[in-house]
Structure 1
Amino acid sequence: MPWIWLRVLLALTLAVGGGLLGHLLGGAWGYALQAALTGALLGVGLLFSLDMLRGHRILRWLAESLNGPPPAFAGFWGELAARIERALRARERTADAERERLAQFLSAIEASPNGVLLLDASEQIEWCNQPAAEHLGLDRQRDLRQRVTNLVRAPAFVAMLQARAFDQPVQIPQPGGRGLLSIIVRPYGDGQRLVLTQDITERERADAMRRDFVANVSHEIRTPLTVVAGFVETLTNLPLSEVERKRVLALMAQQTQRMQSLVGDLLTLARLEGSPRPPADTWVPLARLSSAVELDARSLSAGRHRLAFDWGDGVELAGSEPELLSAVTNLVSNAVRYTPESGQIEVVWRRRAEGAGEIVVRDTGPGIAAEHLTRLTERFYRVDGSRSRDTGGTGLGLAIVKHVVQRHGGELLIESTPGVGSCFTLVLPASRVRAPATRLALQP
């Protein structure tokens, strides 16, 4: 560090120079020694005064929050000011980088769908993100420094904080009954708490649907199995006449067919949910679908209904032929099953103005009350359970139709009036409908 030696050399030079000047001036009055010492002290004092002035200017620069460059000095004070500035600027850059990382971290937390809430040792809110405020009904600004249990009064949550039982999450209703929350609390720091909230409304609804689905499947299969088991026992233990034996076997065959239909529909649903969307470049003639649908409908009706079919002028549909056939067949079969004898069933193909197409299945059956319409496509939902089983329905037909039409980009419209009849409309988008003439015109 050469500036130290220069500083020492400067001090010695001023002391020696002041001493020599004092010796020369004091020698004339006989006080050479005293004058030399006084001159040396004055030389060192001059250097000290200059240092005080420069130090004051540096302190004033520091007190003014480092506005502008540091004072321009040479030597020791210039080196000191430059080093202070470099250290402070480096510290500022580090602090800016930390603030940037903190801002990015908070932005990431804000982007999370889960809520994050920070509590101090007194359980007062230090910070929360927007999802947490929405989940718990908080105001992010107004409720800061408020005790969380004064704002979130769900008994399970309050009991968790009071008991410090943080090993298991608790579930509480959202404010206003909008849904269900799962809350996890984790301690950190000096008595602080990290509160994580998650909206589990959809998850709980899906779990409930799965539980209902398993229960419904078990019930639907258990009933015919019980019947078949009873008939097997009857055939085994009782002497039956030929007529009675044939009747029992016929009933067993009926229940077996019912179980086969149920399993078939379940497999169809599983295949629809687990497979990719149908291709948009595979074209199926509607006439090919219509012949299979008509044959099935006439066989199921057995002449008990007035059937009318109008399939238009021969269009083609893009998609999966088995899926489309299953959807239309389910609609027509439902109409046949639920329409009383001598009732009318009409199946019509129509082209909409915007190019979309629709298959309309209209019947003169008993109709469906308005409160049931929104739930008709739920699995195993039945307006009249006993009547559905009598007609051989599995409760999955309309669920299959809904899945098929949605996979093809369309929709299922349902209209019904009790005592008048029902109308089911399967709508397909224009991109999946074309006339044969269009296809031929494009060929070279």
Structure 2
Amino acid sequence: MTIALVLSLLLAFGATVAASQMWRRQRVLLRWTASGMGDKDAPDLPGTLGEIGERVERALRAADVRQAEHAHRLATFLTAIDASPNGILLLDAQDQLQWINQTAAGHFGLDVQRDRDQRVTNLVRSPAFVEYLQAERFDEGVSFPSPRGEAMLSVTVRPYGDALKLVLSQDITVRERSDRMRRDFVANVSHEIRSPLTVLAGFIETLADLPLTGSERQRVLALMRQQTDRMRNLVTDLLALAQIEGAPRPLPDTWTDVGELLAQIEISARASDRDQHHFELQSGSPAQLGGIESELFSAFWNLVSNALRYTPAGGRVTAQWSVRPDGTGEFRVTDTGTGIEREHIPRLTERFYRVDSSRSRETGGTGLGLAIVKHVVQRHDGELLIDSVPGKGSVFRVVLPAFRVREGPLGMWGIGRNL
């Protein structure tokens, strides 16, 4: 056998061995790639295949890191949306729910997991919402009661992507209630002022057009003065209420002697009542109240004047101050008036709310007294409690917290009221 032939055979054998090794290494690399690659390190292979495996492994590791970062950002984003005070629904092209946050689930009575992939109009059946969604005119939103009826919802739809929709919901119950109260307030003020103005205009025409005797003229002037006082009282109460509502909560660093406060109330009560009722004031032990003296007087006096106003002549009205065993202070006004039906009691502190409007106007009330009391008491961290039995009378109690009450005369705590 010639040397050339031997060399040829050796070369062929070497090539075969090399090819076989290459094939086995390729099979190892292929099995690694087929196994998912991410769970195991790249096989330790020499040469180009080893370098390819290492580069693929690095690329996969980098891709895993990027995917984890994207997943974390998405989870953070969805968590933030889920915590949003506004409801959010994601709908596909067929209006099927793809994602719901917790707020929207509460608004529409949905289940975050169960209701996914359901058509939203099969779940939210409000006619206003269904018509709005189907009309596809989303320049403005739509408002309607929630499915359970306990809230008013404002809903806006924003199209995005390929026929996808973003539904945003907001609970506007408080805003609707505030708007309604504002409208009612304006209407009530207009009515309250227009009534005495109409009376005054009539009297002015009477004075201008008719020859009146001296006594008739005096009677007309007295009625005009009465209507003028009514408007003045209304404006005064409106200003007082506006000032109280807009002022910051007072600190308990200015102290008012309760005895002096009650003395002012007794003087005012005796002067306005003119012995029409059996009025009694029980001052209790000496004490001081931390807060604004003018506001506390206004609250206490409104309760006393209301009791005198709505108790028939000859009835009894008792005002009493006491410090309770737990350190809280209580100002109690009890009357033997006609009493108030139970269904009216929760609304008594609303502005201009009257159980009997004609009777209230006859007695000169503005309809703002108890609203002022409520705001003063709330600003002083207290509570207004009302009990009444029709035909037997009423009890109004202002309870102030212990940190705004201290027993003993003012002098024992120092000189002056600002401490």
- Please report the TM-score for the alignment, with normalisation by the length of structure 1: 0.89
Contact 2:287 2:409 in 1 (8 A): no
* Amino acid aligned to 2:277: H
- Superposed, which structure 2 residues align to 1:295-334 within 5 Å? 295-334=267-306
Quote the residue 1:414 is aligned against: 386
Closer, same or farther: CA 211–170 of 1 in aligned 2, 3 Å: same
CA distance in 1, matches of 2:134, 2:339: 57
**2:113 pairs with one of 141, 145, 150:** 141
Question: 2:39 is paired with a residue of what secondary structure?
Answer: coil
CA distance in 1, matches of 2:9, 2:386: 114
The reply to whether residue 213 of structure 1 matches residue 185 of structure 2 is yes
The unaligned stretches of length 5 or more in structure 2 are: none
**1:55 pairs with one of 15, 26, 32:** 26
Question: 1:186 is paired with a residue of what secondary structure?
Answer: strand
Quote the residue 1:378 is aligned against: 350
Aligned-residue offset at 1:68 = 2.8
**2:156 pairs with one of 159, 169, 184:** 184
Higher mean alpha-carbon deviation, 65-74 vs 376-385, is at: 65-74
Quote the residue 1:434 is aligned against: 406
Question: 2:230 is paired with a residue of what secondary structure?
Answer: helix
The unaligned stretches of length 5 or more in structure 1 are: 1-25
**1:115 pairs with one of 81, 87, 92:** 87
Aligned-residue offset at 1:223 = 0.5
Contact 2:288 2:410 in 1 (8 A): no
Question: 1:176 is paired with a residue of what secondary structure?
Answer: coil
Quote the residue 1:224 is aligned against: 196
Contact 1:61 1:67 in 2 (8 A): no
CA distance in 2, matches of 1:322, 1:442: 21
The reply to whether residue 274 of structure 1 matches residue 246 of structure 2 is yes
The reply to whether residue 404 of structure 1 matches residue 376 of structure 2 is yes
Higher mean alpha-carbon deviation, 54-63 vs 375-384, is at: 54-63
Quote the residue 2:2 is aligned against: 27
Question: 1:278 is paired with a residue of what secondary structure?
Answer: coil
Aligned-residue offset at 1:219 = 0.5
CA distance in 1, matches of 2:80, 2:226: 60
CA distance in 2, matches of 1:300, 1:240: 31
Aligned-residue offset at 1:156 = 1.5
CA distance in 2, matches of 1:42, 1:262: 116
Aligned-residue offset at 1:239 = 2.4
Aligned-residue offset at 1:81 = 1.6
* Amino acid aligned to 1:116: I
Contact 2:257 2:410 in 1 (8 A): no
CA distance in 1, matches of 2:23, 2:404: 90
CA distance in 1, matches of 2:241, 2:352: 12
The reply to whether residue 243 of structure 1 matches residue 215 of structure 2 is yes
Question: 2:256 is paired with a residue of what secondary structure?
Answer: strand
Question: 1:145 is paired with a residue of what secondary structure?
Answer: coil
Q: Which runs of 4+ in 1 moved over 4 A?
A: 34-42
Contact 2:291 2:404 in 1 (8 A): yes
CA distance in 2, matches of 1:345, 1:228: 34
Question: 1:140 is paired with a residue of what secondary structure?
Answer: coil
Higher mean alpha-carbon deviation, 228-237 vs 166-175, is at: 228-237
Aligned-residue offset at 1:59 = 2.7
1:211-241 deviation line (CA, Å, top 9, x unaligned): 1111111100110111112222222232222
Closer, same or farther: CA 45–256 of 1 in aligned 2, 3 Å: farther
Question: 1:374 is paired with a residue of what secondary structure?
Answer: helix
CA distance in 1, matches of 2:89, 2:353: 41
Higher mean alpha-carbon deviation, 132-141 vs 424-433, is at: 132-141
CA distance in 2, matches of 1:262, 1:211: 18
CA distance in 2, matches of 1:335, 1:133: 49
1:139-190 deviation line (CA, Å, top 9, x unaligned): 2212111111111111111112222111111112212222211111111111
Contact 1:118 1:127 in 2 (8 A): yes
CA distance in 2, matches of 1:188, 1:51: 53
Aligned-residue offset at 1:36 = 5.0
The reply to whether residue 393 of structure 1 matches residue 365 of structure 2 is yes
CA distance in 2, matches of 1:144, 1:408: 49
Aligned-residue offset at 1:40 = 4.2
Which has the greater radius of gyration? 1
Closer, same or farther: CA 234–48 of 1 in aligned 2, 3 Å: farther
1:274-316 deviation line (CA, Å, top 9, x unaligned): 1110111111100121111111111110111111111112100
Question: 1:228 is paired with a residue of what secondary structure?
Answer: helix
Aligned-residue offset at 1:394 = 0.4
Question: 1:193 is paired with a residue of what secondary structure?
Answer: strand
- Superposed, which structure 2 residues align to 1:95-110 within 5 Å? 95-110=67-82
Quote the residue 2:336 is aligned against: 364
Quote the residue 1:124 is aligned against: 96
CA distance in 1, matches of 2:175, 2:413: 51
Aligned-residue offset at 1:37 = 5.4
1:104-160 deviation line (CA, Å, top 9, x unaligned): 111111111211111111111111011111211212212111111111111111112
CA distance in 2, matches of 1:440, 1:289: 18
CA distance in 1, matches of 2:174, 2:215: 55
Aligned-residue offset at 1:44 = 4.1
CA distance in 1, matches of 2:53, 2:347: 79
Quote the residue 1:261 is aligned against: 233
